[in-house]
């Protein structure tokens, strides 16, 4: 069975969707604003909240850090100052992790580099996220995989070969020596989930390519598949669930108009509440695939359904012909599909025209 467990929460084909509110930089560098986002996300019914951790000196070239950053979303005069203003340190992470746990939420973060991964490992987060931009950063993925905790990998901008390369490298596939193609022996790997993702912000519906979820499920039969959803809306998450996604990441904000480039495509509280609600409804609505009648249908079907009635008066011994029978509402007698079983039989007692036939016992 494909499943992954994060901080005691089991995620599998038979569970609700696990919803991660991606806070990203929408806290604007404020711990208190971050807490407000966490609290609000909890009220929306999400399962987890996530931040992004970067060691700026390791991650970026000095030339990029020194570059002027003239944007309405800038928190500094240079890109380095901007990034530094949005980055929380150790004390802030300890405080935020404790606060999140007090809310009953799962807390983890994206590691963008090895020092950040080590930082988060020391913090003892229950899972790690790898961003789409690092799908090909094999050394970082290997480093995080060695912690033996769940690793959630977004696959935006990649190909199936890119994803299979990662799968082989961290042990989901067994590679046959000497073969140029990826091995076909599948090894259960309970610590990995792949997210279908299109790394556009926002992503247009015609580039969501949700059928990739099915392709991933076929390629990785023991691996949980999910969706990192950058679409500006909530309608496609239930579709992804129906296709087999079980882990959902969605950017979250309190205000679309707040300063910062991610707010405009993030969900506000009302949208997040409705997405969580609709995902739960989707699981319930899919059911178990066994066709059955429900008690709730009976009242409507009594009026809409039909029964067999006598179109003409019938006398004892008379042979029934097709013209002697009709079907009319309500549904309180013999079911219409039984009409063929009555034609050609003889009547044993008088039947009045218009009488509803409730039993086939009045025929020989």
The CATH number of the domain holding residue 236 is 3.20.20.70
pLDDT for 363: 87
Strands (E), 63-164: 106-111, 128-130, 151-154
Domain that holds residue 206: 8-286
Kindly report, residue by residue over 33-65, the tens digit of the pLDDT.
999 999 999 999 999 999 999 999 999 999 999
- What average pLDDT is seen over the chain? 93
Q: Tell me if 144 is assigned to some domain.
A: yes
* Confidence tier at 176 by pLDDT (50, 70, 90): very low
Q: Does residue 3 sit within a domain?
A: no
State yes or no: pLDDT of 173 exceeds 80. no
Which pLDDT belongs to residue 174? 58
Final residue belonging to a domain, choices 266, 286, 306:
286
The whole-number pLDDT of residue 194 equals: 97
**192 and 326 both lie in a single domain:** no
| Type and span of the H or E element at 300 | helix 298-304
Report the domain count for the chain.
2
At residue 220, does pLDDT exceed 50? yes
Q: Which of 29, 60, 19, 50 is nearest to 271 (CA)?
A: 19
Q: Are 183 and 246 members of one domain?
A: yes
Quick: pLDDT tens for 64-105: 999 999 988 899 999 999 999 999 999 999 999 999 999 999
User: Is 2 inside any structural domain?
Assistant: no
Q: What pLDDT was estimated at residue 179? A: 46
Query: Does 246 lie in the same domain as 155?
Result: yes
Q: Identify whether 106 is part of a domain.
A: yes
Q: Are residues 203 and 170 in the same domain?
A: yes
60 and 25 in a common domain: yes
Of 286, 318, 347, the last residue of a domain is 286
Specify whether 19 is located in the same domain as 153: yes
With cut-offs at 50, 70 and 90, classify the pLDDT of residue 260: confident
- Whether pLDDT at 351 is above 50: yes
What burial letters (b/e) apply to 262-274, b meaning 16+ CB within 10 Å?
A: bbebbbebebbbe
The per-residue pLDDT for 232 is: 87
C-alpha torsion sign, points 73, 78, 84, 87? positive
CB 119 within 8 A of CB 110: no
CATH number of domain containing 353: 3.90.1210.10
- Same structural domain, 244 and 319: no
Q: What is the pTM of this model?
A: 0.89
pLDDT at 204 over 50: yes
Report yes or no on 233 lying in a domain. Answer: yes
pLDDT tens string 119-134: 999 999 999 999 999 9
Residue 344 sits in the same domain as residue 203: no
Residues 65, 127 share a domain: yes
The last residue of a domain, from among 254, 286, 318: 286
Rounded Cα gap, residues 228 and 250, in angstroms: 6
């Amino acid at each position: 069975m494909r499943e992954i467990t994060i901080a005691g929460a089991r995620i599998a084909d038979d569970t609700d969707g696990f919803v991660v509110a991606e806070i990203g930089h929408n806290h604007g560098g404020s711990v208190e604003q971050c807490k407000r986002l966490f609290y609000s996300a909890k009220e929306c019914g999400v399962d987890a909240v996530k931040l992004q951790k970067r060691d700026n000196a390791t991650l970026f070239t000095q030339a990029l850090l020194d570059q002027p950053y003239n944007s309405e979303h800038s928190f500094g005069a240079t890109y380095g100052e901007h990034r530094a203003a949005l980055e929380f340190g150790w004390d802030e992470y300890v405080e935020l992790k404790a606060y999140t746990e007090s809310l009953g939420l799962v807390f983890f973060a994206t590691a963008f580099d090895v020092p950040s991964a080590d930082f988060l490992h020391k913090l003892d987060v229950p899972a790690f996220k790898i961003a789409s931009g690092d799908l090909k950063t094999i050394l970082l993925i290997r480093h995080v995989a060695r912690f033996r905790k769940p690793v959630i990998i977004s696959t935006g901008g990649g190909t199936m070969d890119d994803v299979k390369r990662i799968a082989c490298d961290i042990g989901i596939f067994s590679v046959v020596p000497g073969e140029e193609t990826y091995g076909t022996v599948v090894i259960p790997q309970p610590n990995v989930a792949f997210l279908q993702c299109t790394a556009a912000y926002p992503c247009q519906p015609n580039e969501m390519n949700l059928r990739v979820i099915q392709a991933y499920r076929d390629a990785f039969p023991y691996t949980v598949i999910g969706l990192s959803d950058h679409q500006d809306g909530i309608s496609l998450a239930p579709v992804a669930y129906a296709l087999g996604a079980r882990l959902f990441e969605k950017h979250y904000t309190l205000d679309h108009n707040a300063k910062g480039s991610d707010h405009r495509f993030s969900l506000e509280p009302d949208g997040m509440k409705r997405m969580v609600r609709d995902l739960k409804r989707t699981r319930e609505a899919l059911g178990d695939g066994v066709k059955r009648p429900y008690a709730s249908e009976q009242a409507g079907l009594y009026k809409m359904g039909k029964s067999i009635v006598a179109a003409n008066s019938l006398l004892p011994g008379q042979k029934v012909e097709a013209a002697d029978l009709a079907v009319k509402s309500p549904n309180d007698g013999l079911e219409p599909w039984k009409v063929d079983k009555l034609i050609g039989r003889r009547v044993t007692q008088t039947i009045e025209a218009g009488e509803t036939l409730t039993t086939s016992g009045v025929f020989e």
